[in-house]
Amino acid sequence: MERSTRQRRAILHALAQSGRPLRPIEILELGQKEVPGLGLTTVYRNIRQMTADGSLVRVYYPGQPALFELPTGKFLPHFICRSCQQVYYFEEEAPDVPYDPPANFRIESQEVVFYGHCSDCP
């Protein structure tokens, strides 16, 4: 059973305020403004639990450490340039991919990554 602690509220607050995906260390730093004694371990443990139950979403930029954000319901697609390896975040949402998962797999969200060449790399 989950309890509402000062630490947990500070973590959620940090994520709600920032408006962009945060790294665990950033969550810690923001959270410590509210709860000075907050520890990195606590951040990780809560991130893990929240991600498991869906109240937090893990966003992944290839080659970078994990980022976390509150669920937005949006599917912003990534684009990775094959030449310069730069990662871009396209603003326009990608459509749902129609897909029939194997039995007993429940799809809750999706992420699309496009590969190609960016405007700087012909």
Beta carbon nearer to DNA, 39 or 93: 39
Q: Which of these segments, 22-30, 73-81, 86-94, 96-104, binds DNA (CB under 7 A)?
A: 22-30
82 binds DNA per the rule CB under 7 A? no
User: Using CA of residue 48, residue 94, residue 77, residue 19, what is the dihedral sign?
Assistant: negative
What is the token pair recorded at 3? Answer: 């309890």
12 binds DNA per the rule CB under 7 A? no
Strands 78-81 and 67-69: unpaired
CA distance 77 to 6: 34
**Looking at residue 51, what DSSP letter applies?**
H
39 binds DNA per the rule CB under 7 A? yes
Q: Which does 46 bind (CB under 5 to 8 A by kind): DNA, a copy of itself, none?
A: DNA
Measure Cα distances from 6 to 60, 76, 104 in Å. 28, 32, 37
What SS3 class is residue 82? coil
Interface residues with a copy of itself (CB under 8 A)?
A: 51-54, 58, 60, 62-63, 66, 77, 79, 82-83, 88, 90, 92, 94-95, 97-119
Least separation, in Å, of the C-beta of 38 and DNA?
A: 5
Applying CB under 7 A, which residues contact DNA? 1-8, 23-25, 35, 37-42, 44-49, 65-66
